[in-house]
């Protein structure tokens, strides 16, 4: 940069470093936050259980002694507070917005914690939604957090791009279901992560099978599992299967997800510990 630089690049033809070098889009976290790891939970389509996997991972790692947090980036379809049984509003103390803590100690921030009524729709366009996600990172006083999980909306659109570019994401978990159609959709999510140079930590196949409570035989209700094939195809070394379990559904509906002992996701939790 020249000593006589006017800082008006539109009127300058110089090829200085400030114009030619890649510029980071990362947002600074709140000055009162100390977040060590950020894990994104994504999928290529909706209804496969991203929020379930996010909640199970946060709860499991909290029980293992880690300080966990969940940033609910699904602005128009938030479900994290309900799954954790949290219904109070987030407050501010002058330093910024304070996350609400679950019974088990996981810190939560979601647009539902800011609405007057949790059933009120969020009728916002893309730029406002993206800005809100950034503010959940920059304006929330998260404090000391070992692992933050970002629960993202389905697809590879604005919010996923905002999270990948604005937050220092250490890795992602891809959530899928057994149907063959999902193969193509998972491929989109995996390729997006590769394009953004973010490592894929593992794949979680939700609704993978139903285990008969009497004979313990496993029935693949929605078709044959493809999670191992998907993992091998994309060079991912961790793949887990989550069963269809009425008790699991009841725990989500009743805000008691922290009471679930989710042994199915142990492989993912261990992978996150190592990064």
Mean pLDDT over 71-75 rounds to 97
Question: How distant, in Å, are the alpha carbons of 20, 228, 271 from that of 9?
Answer: 12, 51, 45
Mean pLDDT over 108-123 rounds to 94
Beta strand ranges found along 152-238 (DSSP E) = 171-176, 200-205, 210-211, 218-219
- C-alpha 157/C-alpha 148 separation (Å) is 21
Q: Domain residue spans in the chain?
A: 35-274
Select the more confidently predicted residue: 10 or 34: 34
Closest to 175 in 3D by CA, of 158, 195, 194, 155: 155
Question: Token pair for residue 263?
Answer: 């042994």
- C-alpha 22/C-alpha 249 separation (Å) is 46
Taking every pair of C-alpha atoms in the chain, what is the biggest distance, in angstroms? 81
Q: Angle at which helices 158-166 and 181-195 pack, to 10 degrees? A: 30
- CB–CB of 76/133 below 8 Å? no
Top CATH class of 35-274 equals: alpha beta
List the alpha helices (DSSP H) in the chain.
17-20, 50-63, 80-84, 126-138, 158-166, 181-195, 227-233, 246-253, 266-274
Question: How distant, in Å, are the alpha carbons of 35, 38, 139, 269 from that of 27?
Answer: 13, 13, 11, 26
Q: DSSP label at 10?
A: G
Q: Which helix (H) or strand (E) segment is 40 a member of?
A: strand 34-42
Give residue 21's pLDDT band: very low, low, confident or very high (50, 70, 90): low
Average pLDDT, the chain: 90
Measured over the CA atoms of residue 162, residue 58, residue 154 and residue 192, the dihedral's sign is positive
Mean pLDDT over 159-180 rounds to 91
Q: Is the pLDDT of residue 182 over 90?
A: no
pLDDT of 121: 93
pLDDT of 144: 98
Question: 230 Cβ partners below 8 Å, 6+ apart?
Answer: 176, 183, 186, 203, 236, 239
Say what the alpha-carbon torsion angle 34, 40, 46, 49 is, to the nearest 10 degrees.
-80
The residues facing 211 across adjacent strands are 218
pLDDT of 8: 62
Question: Token pair for residue 51?
Answer: 């929020």
Mean pLDDT over 156-181 rounds to 89
Q: Is the pLDDT of residue 160 over 80?
A: yes
């Amino acid at each position: 940069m020249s000593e006589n630089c006017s800082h008006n690049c539109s009127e300058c033809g110089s090829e200085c470093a400030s114009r030619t070098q890649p510029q980071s889009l990362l947002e600074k976290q709140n000055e009162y936050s100390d977040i060590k790891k950020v894990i994104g939970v994504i999928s290529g389509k909706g209804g496969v259980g991203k929020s379930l996997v996010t909640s199970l991972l946060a709860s499991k790692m909290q029980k293992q002694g880690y300080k966990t947090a969940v940033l609910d980036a699904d602005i128009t379809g938030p479900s994290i507070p309900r799954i954790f049984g949290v219904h109070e509003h987030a407050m501010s103390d002058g330093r910024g917005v304070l996350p609400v803590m679950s019974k088990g100690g996981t810190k939560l921030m979601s647009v539902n914690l800011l609405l007057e009524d949790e059933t009120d729709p969020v009728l916002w366009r893309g730029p406002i939604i993206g800005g809100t996600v950034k503010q959940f990172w920059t304006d929330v006083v998260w404090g000391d957090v070992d692992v933050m999980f970002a629960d993202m909306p389905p697809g590879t659109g604005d919010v996923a791009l905002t999270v990948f570019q604005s937050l220092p994401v250490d890795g992602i978990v891809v959530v899928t279901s057994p149907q063959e159609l999902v193969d193509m959709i998972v491929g989109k999510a995996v390729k997006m992560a590769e394009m953004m140079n973010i490592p894929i930590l593992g794949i979680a196949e939700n609704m993978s099978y139903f285990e008969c409570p009497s004979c313990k035989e496993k029935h693949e209700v929605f078709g044959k599992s493809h999670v191992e094939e998907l993992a091998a195809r994309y060079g991912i070394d961790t793949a887990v299967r989550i069963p269809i379990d009425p008790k699991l559904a009841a725990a989500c509906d009743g805000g008691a997800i922290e009471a679930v002992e989710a042994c199915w996701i142990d492989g993912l939790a261990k992978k996150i510990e190592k990064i």
